[in-house]
Amino acid sequence: MNFTAQARGAEEAFASSELQPIAHVVDSEGSLDLAFQLPSAGLLLVRCVDRCRVTDYDSLGSMLREGDFDRAVLVYCDREGSVLSGEIETWHIDDVERLAAKLALEAAS
């Protein structure tokens, strides 16, 4: 499955959990940003990428430090896995439904 189809699947997973983005930005062929306003957690940015890159991680970290968002999550599609850790949560695309359910639960509390 190509990245566009996987990103669309991620959007559908969030929608099925009744999470609607307030902004949707396609940054490049391999990147999709979805912004959500969660009542309990403030502004959340979910970046879906074809593969984890340090530049994506650094850019999300900068947005958090500058106060653009209160939380950021990186969803990656490649099979190699994420070697990144720290302030940015990372999830594999296969777990996006679990992520969406977790965020919906947080939004409801």
> Which domains occur in the chain, in start order?
3-108 (3.40.1350)
Record the pTM. Answer: 0.88
Cα angle value 96/99/101 (rounded, 5°): 110
For 21, phi and psi rounded to 5 degrees? -70, 145
d(CA 40, CA 15): 18
Element (H, E) at 11: helix 3-16
71 in Cβ contact with 98 (< 8 Å): no
CA 69 from chain center: how many Å?
A: 12
pLDDT, one tens digit per residue, over 35-65 is 999 887 789 999 999 888 888 888 999 999 9
